[in-house]
Structures are given as structure tokens and as C-alpha cells.
Amino acid sequence: MRIYFRLAIVLVLTLCAGVFAATEALRLADRLGGGSEARGPAGGPPGMGRSAGGPGGAAARAPEVDVARAFATTAQPTITAYGRLASRSTATLRLPAAGTVAALGPSLTDGGMVTAGAMLVQLDTRAAEATLGTAQAAQRRAELALTDSRRQQADLAEDIAIQEQIVQIRQTEVERLSALLDRGAGVQTDVETARLSLLSAQQGLAASRTEMANLSAAEDQLELDIEDARRDVSTARDALQDLTLTAGISGVYNGARPVVGEALSANAELGTITDLTALEVRLNLTAQEIARVTSPDGRLLDLEVTLTTPGSDKAYAARLHHVSLTASEEVGTTRQLVAWLAPEACPCPLPGEFVLARIREPVLENVTLLPASAVSLSGEVLVVNAENRLETRQVQVLRRIGEEVAIAPQDFTYVIERSPQLGAGLLIAPQLEAADQTRRESAAPASIRTQDATGEAVIKLDDSRRAALIAQVKAAQDMPEPARARTVELLQGDEVPRRLVQRLDARN
């Protein structure tokens, strides 16, 4: 009797399990085969299956799918890039000469504001001043010697003029006495005496002319001495000026402050002066992105650039300036695009800070924005027809903008997120009202939807997730060191760009 009772219990349990399995099989068949059953048996017209109005009809078995209505709008794509701020105007302070510190400027403090032309460091000038005085005295002596030489030449020129007249008179006298002697009225001794006088006068004239030539040569040498003395004076004056270190530009000083009486060596570096009103950022862009911000003739478009620092909501205005000829260090990029911060946007972040840049591209007029999940790589969209069945439609993809795709203007109802279970011909239960209302409320005609001031969707990470991503970045061997440092800095922020997290997850 006990055996029969046990067999009955086993039989009842087996029967219950069979009923449960059959029920689940029918439910699964209703979910997956609703579309085909609604079309009826093979070769039959639609509606030949179960009654659409009955409890197990096709309408009850159609899967619920979120759909939205496509509409034309205006979009302004943005390019997101990262870079570090740098100043276009930076001066390194070095002492051109050695010396002992005699005085210091009040603005020569770390973080102090320095004005162009202000005295920063004054070295002891006594030895340089003495050298300058000696050089100036030597120049003065050479100038006085030249003046005296020219005075002697002037006096000698007058003597030469008189001697030339004497020679002329004695020459006339010799000619007169010679004529008398020829007529027999003269005396030979008078002629010889006159000739001796003429020779004496000519000898004196020759000596004066030789002395004049010597004075002219001495004048040339004195002029060379004066030039040498002037160079010595200029060198001594420059050496004296080198003992005073002045600011070449206005900006913020960063460095050490010497002590009065301290001996400094030549070419000693004290610090740097940075102009915080002349900042720029170099952005690594791909060739396609650079092409979108340039005109057909190759010039950069006058586009707005918004810069933000991680963890801050404050934005800074900048303008595209030029494309650097220096190749980018990033893998997959070609050039660096340089943007200048507007001076009126300052006070700005400090040089060296990591910034996120959003470049506002030209506006796209009369386009339709669809989620990227709704468009396949080949440009196909699942569209809902009047019978709530899905159709595949080819669209013209104009641009992919972040998580959205801009296509030629369309007017249809489409599936928001494609999946392998959805295909052409499937009967669905479209969920239009909530999904479409949410999308239309979030549509911004002149910009891409964002979740923070940087223009990019961000997420918050817990400590364990953040540590895992940072460890993954540090372990990546194919990532350049500059990109690794910037990525780690982004991951350490309170909010992390969602696209960055997605790219890192895709690398696993």
C-alpha cells in the first residue's frame, strides 16, 4: 500500500511539471511568433491565424518597442578636444654678468606682478663705473691729441704759405741778377748768393711739407685711437647696464628671490615671467575635424571655442588662430590646432592646466537628428508603417555628431534602438507618446544636447570603478605618455566624460 501511495505522488508531480513546461512553451511561442501567426498559415492572407481580438491575438503578442517621430531641426555640431594651456609670452630671467646683489625690486617675489621695464635686480656697480670712467678719460685724451694735431697742421699750413712766397721772391731775384750778369752789368757773386738763398728757402719749404705729412699721418692714427676709445666706452657702459636686470615683459614672476649681498654667477637663472593675458591652447584634431573648421581656400573659419577645466563649470572664450606646423604626438591625429584665449575672458586658468575645448562648427540647417542607436552602419533605419509593421529604409547620413546622427530631413516614425530581435515585417506595439515627448523636450535647435557645461555627457564613477579604469590606462602599452597623463587626469575628476569611459571599456 505504501508503494502505491509513493507511485501516485510521483505521478502527480510529473503531471504538474509537464503542465508547467507546456504553459511556458506556449507563452514563449506567443512572444516570438506573434508576427508570423498574425499573417496566418503559409500562403494565407493576414488574419488567418488566431483572432487578433481574442485573448491570445496578435495584438496581445506584439512586442512593445520605443519609437519616435522624426522632425526637421537645426543643429550645430561641436568638436571636442583636449589640451594644455600655455602662454605665448614667457621670459626667462638670467643674469648676463656676475656680481654682488646691491638692491632688489619690490615686485621680484614668487607670484608677484611685474611691469615691463621695472628694475628687478641691481648688482654692485662700483668696479664697472670705474672701468667706464677710465675708458671715457682715454677717449677724451685721444680727442684732445687730435685737436692739438689739427691746430699744429693749421699753423704749419700758414708757415708753408709764407715759405712758398719767399721761395717765389728769391726765384725772381735769381732771375733778375742772372739777366744783369748776361748784359755785363751784374756781378757773379751776387748771382751765386741769390741762388744760395733760394736753395735755403726751398729746403725750409720741403722740411715744412714733410712735417705736414707727418702730422696728417698722426691725425689718422689719432682718429683710430678715438674709435678704439669709443668702443671701450661702449663696452664699459654695456657692462654697467648688465648689472641692472629689468623686466622685458609684464606678467607674473615665478622663481626665487635673491638676498642683498649674495654673489651671483653669470648666466644664473632666477625665474620666469609669464604673461597671463596671452594664453593659447594646442588641440589635437584629426584631418577630418580640421577640414570641417577650414574654408575651401584653406583658411581657418572664425569659429567660437569654449574652454573649461575639469571639475569647474566656468567657461572661457577663445578663437581659432592657426594650424601648427608641428605634428601632433597623439596616435591617429595629424596636426595641432592653436586657439588663442580672448584677453577679456581673463582672469583665466593658469598655464599648464588641462582644459576641454568645444569648437562650435557651422550650423547645419534643415536636418533631422536621430539617435546613433537607430541608424545602422550602412545608413538603414527601421520605420513603422501604418499597420505598425517595421520597414527598412535607407537614409542619407550627413554627419555623426556624438551619440546622434544628422540625416537629410525626414518625416517618419522610427525605432529608437535597433536590436537583433527587430527586423522588417515584424508587427510591434509602438510606444510613441512617452519616448517622443522626451526626445522633443530635449531637442535643442542650435546645439547638441549636453549634460554639463563642457558640452559632453558625463558620468560619476565610484572609487572602485575609477581605480580600475586608471589601472587600465596605466597598463596600456600602446598609449603615448602625454595621452596617458591627460586620460588619468580626466578620470580623477568628479565627473568623467561618458565617451571616454565607453572607449576604455571597448579596449577590454
* Segment 155-202, tens digit of pLDDT: 888 888 888 888 888 888 888 888 887 777 777 888 788 888 888 888
Domains identified in the chain, total number? 5
User: Percent of the chain beyond pLDDT 70?
Assistant: 84
* 255 and 300 inside one domain: no
- Site of grid cell 555627457: 457
**pLDDT grade for 31, boundaries at 50, 70 and 90:** low
* 311 and 398 inside one domain: yes
Domain harbouring 109, CATH code: 2.40.50.100
**pLDDT grade for 133, boundaries at 50, 70 and 90:** very high
* 259 and 298 inside one domain: no
* 417 and 287 inside one domain: yes
Domain harbouring 399, CATH code: 2.40.30.170
Q: Tell me the mean pLDDT in the region 221-245.
A: 91
What string of DSSP letters covers 452-469? STTSS-EE---HHHHHHH
Q: Name the burial class of residue 274, with classes exposed (0-12), middle (13-18) and buried (19+) by CB atoms within 10 angstroms of its CB.
A: buried
Please tell me the distance from the alpha carbon of residue 203 to that of residue 206, in angstroms, as a whole number: 5
- Can you give the pLDDT at residue 137? 94
Residues paired with 272 in a beta bridge: 92, 254
3-state DSSP percent of the chain in helix, strand and coil, to 5:
40, 25, 30
* 159 and 70 inside one domain: no
What string of DSSP letters covers 289-308? HHHHTB-TTSPBP--EEEEE
* 388 and 438 inside one domain: yes
* 491 and 505 inside one domain: yes
**pLDDT grade for 10, boundaries at 50, 70 and 90:** confident
**Which of 23-27, 137-141, 221-225, 452-456 is predicted with the least confidence, judged by mean pLDDT?**
452-456
Instruction: Outline where DSSP puts E strands in 217-334.
Output: 244-246, 251-255, 263-264, 269-274, 279-285, 304-308, 315-327
* 337 and 442 inside one domain: yes
Please provide the size of the chain in residues.
508
What string of DSSP letters covers 2-31? HHHHHHHHHHHHHHHHHHHHHHHHHHHHHH
444 or 351: whose pLDDT is higher? 351
* 266 and 140 inside one domain: no
**pLDDT grade for 39, boundaries at 50, 70 and 90:** very low
- Can you give the pLDDT at residue 144? 92
* 265 and 294 inside one domain: no
Q: Tell me the mean pLDDT in the region 24-41.
A: 51
Residues paired with 86 in a beta bridge: 280
* 293 and 414 inside one domain: yes
- Can you give the pLDDT at residue 30? 59
Q: What domain range is 505 assigned to?
A: 457-508
Confidence check: pLDDT of 45 > 50:
no
Q: What is the mean pLDDT of the chain?
A: 80
* 196 and 139 inside one domain: yes
**pLDDT grade for 332, boundaries at 50, 70 and 90:** low
H or E stretch at 84: strand 78-87
